[in-house]
Structure 1
């Protein structure tokens, strides 16, 4: 479906369509199914070519998994200093499986460059005055192919359109949700397109048409938020977009390392072919293939035995000729390791993050120093992610207040990222205990740091002083 034709007809400007071609290319590397590369032809020498599938190391997938696990995992702690607000936010995140889907979408962010989180209200109850008195908060997760910025300033997306694909009775539909500013507030509009094949523009359905479809029965056509605060958050990697400098979308973690990924797959495919083509073969005289009664002596399914030609000179070479090709395993292994180091460096992990051994690709797990490339890379990406999480939580709080919850909109938010892989936490904790013992660090500071609490919460949760002394 050509969504850009629909945008043009509606007078909507967004990111250039060519950038979404780049996104599809990054996705193809993630899926190890790259056009004009993953399959190739080999000339057979008889006027024909044989189609071959190139073996892949899948390093685009591995890179995306690793950065996602380093940025957002089960050890990341989000804490608010207001107890009621904290409990409400945690409940919303839990019911929306944020830690699971959040990690999933960090991986999607890594290979597409951009994701978005779009909170919404459902199961709302409205009183006679038209005021919302109760309801629930859900979170829609969106990846780059379905995100279309409309306006932005200094990279901050102010207006955006999101697509949500659905399938009903084997027909494909797309919910188009626009978040645009009008008359001093954000207005959220929903419409539905019936997907058309190829480059055709999708057919826009009337409201009475999409109301009968199950996924859209309770969907509001238009929502007035009475607020100039956006009800969506755009999340991207902290890498400058050199594919399109004026574009607020992000780029894949391996966007500038495609040549290295290509070279790695060529080397790995050659390595596999080395064992396939270089396997041991035994050529035998034709008369040795059958017994006196014409029965096959060797298993015809066994690919190790081949027949010598009839005019073969047996007096010089004998009845059996063994061919055992020398494998270039060491040369291939060195080439792959060299490029793994280069790939790791290009993507911010420093060198020697990955090692190619007999068992496959091994990931280094040693403690990483604070002056390493990987440490600085993760801290750089955490700058944007921390801001994204703060914005998401603020949206949840505002929506909770609309739903009648007594929440504190100014509650302090503390986000503790899991740096246990980067830093030696055990050593750091012992040092902090020493600082507490000599009075350099207070007990509430220690507790706030290691228990994911604010200083005020830590002070309230400290045991009685006599218990501490005991």
Structure 2
């Protein structure tokens, strides 16, 4: 199915298809399976070609793994001031396996530039007046290739279509979930502002635009049974959250493109050169292995039994007249290996790659045929620290927006005790890139000399709001701080 053919048929405008070709290309580098690069043909003469596979260091995935671990790991603390609201939100996130999936989608965000989180209500019980009596709040995750913005303002996506691919009885279906703003008009014609509505459609994926199913046909497919054709949220805030890397999108001619770009979008040439070097390095051992050329009479003893293992690739039989001039029975060949030259070239490009992707230099090194990650603590002035803090700006707001969307849905589901505007604090874990023990000791000294208060110290190091920290301070003996 061609999604853009479907959009054209429905009169829907979104980004140019060429941008999604870039997403496909980034994804192929992430998987180390780039067409016409990792699989290629070598001409052998006489119109004869052989198909070859180029070995890869897999550095695109390594970059994505490392930035995801720096941004969202098990040490990140989410603190919500209202305890009832905090318990509810953490329950929803736990049910959505956010500890695992959150990190995984940070990696996918780094690979293709953008991901989305879409909370929704399910198992709803509806009252006669149409209000929701009870429901469960769930969370969907969406990758870049299935995110299609339809409206945006100042790089923020305000309306969007998300595509969810499903398979039932070996047939492929696509659910199009369109989040858009509509004006609300009162009974007396009063303008009540905007609200978000969600419109669903289901298409049987086939050639061209696909075949759109009617809502009556949805119930015949279990994964779409009970799906509402239209949902009015009654809220002026979106029921989706877009999360992207904090990198300017410079790969699209449209400077207003609100989608993110891959962490290695501007380093593809370096990735290609690294894989060329690594493939050459690997071939060096294949082509340079020891060989022993043997005269035919040496292959069998007087009884005709084989002297050497026929499966041993070291020994190679040559014609009998080959050794006439040298009078040798065997001839050993040892090819010299250019190991040091290859390792130097790979390390040079690893430094260039890590620098271009925001990790600074010396982050990776190639030793004994494997990638080693530097483990030293990196100062606050480093490229890596500043780069991670820059990406945290968008991630921090995305997590807060997601939490508030979950709270709104919880209130819609009848949990009126939830507080939407409660304080939310995201405490990112920087222990990998800064010396936390040294920083904590410096803060203790600031408390001792009176330039930092105990509530401020506790809020920073225990992931609490200052109000909660002040209430939880133990009683101190006069003059004793720690």
Tell me whether the two structures share a fold, i.e. TM-score over 0.5: yes
Instruction: State the 1:43 CA deviation.
Output: 2.9
Question: Secondary structure of 2:468's match?
Answer: helix
Number of the residue aligned with 1:81? 81
1:389 to 379, 389, 399: 399
**2-side partners of 1:266 and 1:467: how far apart?**
68
Give the 3 Å change call, closer, same or farther, for CA 317–240 of structure 1 in structure 2. farther
Comparing 431-440 with 317-326, which one deviates more in the overlay?
A: 431-440
**2-side partners of 1:58 and 1:88: how far apart?**
40
Query: Is the aligned partner of 1:237 residue 2:248?
Result: no
Instruction: State the 1:296 CA deviation.
Output: 2.2
Give the 3 Å change call, closer, same or farther, for CA 76–310 of structure 1 in structure 2. same
Query: Is the aligned partner of 1:218 residue 2:226?
Result: yes
Number of the residue aligned with 1:20? 20
**1-side partners of 2:354 and 2:339: how far apart?**
22
Kept after mapping to 1: 8 A contact 2:218/2:227:
no
1:438 to 449, 455, 463: 449
Kept after mapping to 1: 8 A contact 2:240/2:402:
yes
Instruction: State the 1:374 CA deviation.
Output: 0.6
Number of the residue aligned with 1:460? 471
**1-side partners of 2:278 and 2:65: how far apart?**
20
2:291 to 277, 281, 285: 281
Instruction: State the 1:111 CA deviation.
Output: 0.6
Number of the residue aligned with 1:158? 158
1:416 to 424, 427, 434: 427
Number of the residue aligned with 2:101? 101
Give the 3 Å change call, closer, same or farther, for CA 325–20 of structure 1 in structure 2. same
How many residue pairs get aligned? The number is: 468
**2-side partners of 1:182 and 1:409: how far apart?**
23
Number of the residue aligned with 1:117? 117
Q: Deviations over 1:405-442 (max 9, x none)?
A: 21222211111100001111111112222222333322
1:357 to 353, 364, 367: 367
Give the 3 Å change call, closer, same or farther, for CA 457–317 of structure 1 in structure 2. farther
Number of the residue aligned with 1:340? 350
**2-side partners of 1:366 and 1:133: how far apart?**
55
**2-side partners of 1:177 and 1:205: how far apart?**
14
Q: Deviations over 1:208-254 (max 9, x none)?
A: 11211010112111101112211101111011111112211111000
Matches within 5 A, 1:111-260: 111-183=111-183, 184-196=194-206, 200-244=208-252, 245-260=255-270
Kept after mapping to 1: 8 A contact 2:295/2:323:
no
TM normalised by structure 2 equals 0.94
Instruction: Output the aligned Cα RMSD.
Output: 1.5
Q: Deviations over 1:15-34 (max 9, x none)?
A: 00011111000000011100
Give the 3 Å change call, closer, same or farther, for CA 446–317 of structure 1 in structure 2. farther
Kept after mapping to 1: 8 A contact 2:9/2:209:
no
Question: Secondary structure of 1:450's match?
Answer: helix
**2-side partners of 1:449 and 1:389: how far apart?**
19
Instruction: State the 1:340 CA deviation.
Output: 0.4
Number of the residue aligned with 2:274? 264
**1-side partners of 2:292 and 2:453: how far apart?**
78
Number of the residue aligned with 2:461? 450
Structure 2: gaps (5+ residues):
184-193
Query: Is the aligned partner of 1:90 residue 2:85?
Result: no
**1-side partners of 2:63 and 2:401: how far apart?**
27
Kept after mapping to 1: 8 A contact 2:288/2:337:
yes
Question: Secondary structure of 1:44's match?
Answer: strand
**2-side partners of 1:4 and 1:45: how far apart?**
43
Query: Is the aligned partner of 1:37 residue 2:37?
Result: yes
Structure 1: gaps (5+ residues):
none
TM normalised by structure 1 equals 0.97
Instruction: State the 1:47 CA deviation.
Output: 4.5
Question: Secondary structure of 1:321's match?
Answer: strand
Question: Secondary structure of 1:316's match?
Answer: coil
Q: Deviations over 1:306-339 (max 9, x none)?
A: 1122321434251111100000000000000000
Number of the residue aligned with 2:418? 407
**2-side partners of 1:394 and 1:38: how far apart?**
44
Instruction: State the 1:467 CA deviation.
Output: 10
**2-side partners of 1:327 and 1:94: how far apart?**
53
